[in-house]
Copies of this chain bind each other. A is one copy, B any other.
């Protein structure tokens, strides 16, 4: 049952944290791109483990939640959206003043995934479909989706050209500006499979979870 949570798991988690403090020395100020960090295999492994721990935790929580909600899901509370419901105000105030759409974590995750899939500009039809799906996770309109993609793309682009722009004083421009989709990033040493993130909405719908795949 839900009480099956292993405390030991916690212990284990905690034990994994014995990192190395130190490191920020010369790079204290955050100007992007010019500096690089160096990680040893060991550090990478540690990092990987920490993330794996999160994966596990999420997994278990999700499981727990499913059990719970299964045995009692008849109350007035909707479990689906635990993100901000635009109509429920806190402290009783401006119920309707939210003018700007704010993606819920789930929505964002989905959008991000679609975006990542490369198919740059989703056509009208797709947007419509997507909106349909996203609606299940909160208020959203097609315009929101459209704007989101527009912005996402524009910013992604800008950011990229900015990153590769740092030391380009000597050389004209390497290959910074490529006609390909921004789907391609310079080099992503650490690439997490966000399918695991999908898990967040899994507790709601998709029973299948992709927690095991952290193949980076």
Residues of A within 8 A of B (CB): 2, 5, 7, 9-11, 13-48, 50-51, 53-58, 60-65, 67-69, 71-72, 75, 77, 79, 82-91, 93-94, 96-105, 108-109, 112, 115-116, 139-144, 156, 162-163, 165, 175-180, 183-185, 187-194, 197, 199-200, 202-206, 209-210, 212-216
Find chain B residues with CB under 8 A from A31 CB: 41, 101, 139-141, 144
A39 touches B42 (CB 8 A): no
B19 touches A156 (CB 8 A): yes
Contacts A20-B216, A24-B189, A87-B90 known; 6 new A-B pairs at CB < 8 A: A10-B203, A20-B116, A21-B116, A23-B187, A27-B41, A37-B189
The 10 A-B residue pairs with the shortest CB-CB distance in the complex, in nearest-first order: A20-B188, A54-B54, A61-B61, A30-B99, A84-B190, A22-B191, A17-B213, A84-B189, A86-B90, A20-B191
Q: Which residue of B lies closest to A36 (CB)?
A: B38
Find chain B residues with CB under 8 A from A184 CB: 21
B32 touches A42 (CB 8 A): yes
Smallest beta-carbon distance A138→chain B, Å? 8
Q: Which residue of B lies closest to A216 (CB)?
A: B23
Distance in angstroms between the alpha carbons of A46 and B103 in the assembled complex: 19
B47 touches A214 (CB 8 A): yes
Copies in the complex: 2
Contact of A209 (CB < 8 Å), options: B28, B43, B50, B105? B50
Distance in angstroms between the alpha carbons of A38 and B34 in the assembled complex: 12
B188 touches A22 (CB 8 A): yes
Return 17 A-B CB contacts under 8 Å, by A number: A2-B69, A11-B102, A13-B204, A14-B205, A17-B197, A25-B216, A27-B216, A30-B99, A33-B41, A38-B38, A53-B209, A54-B57, A57-B204, A64-B79, A68-B79, A82-B84, A87-B90
B93 touches A191 (CB 8 A): no
Distance in angstroms between the alpha carbons of A56 and B176 in the assembled complex: 33
Smallest beta-carbon distance A1→chain B, Å? 11
Smallest beta-carbon distance A147→chain B, Å? 12
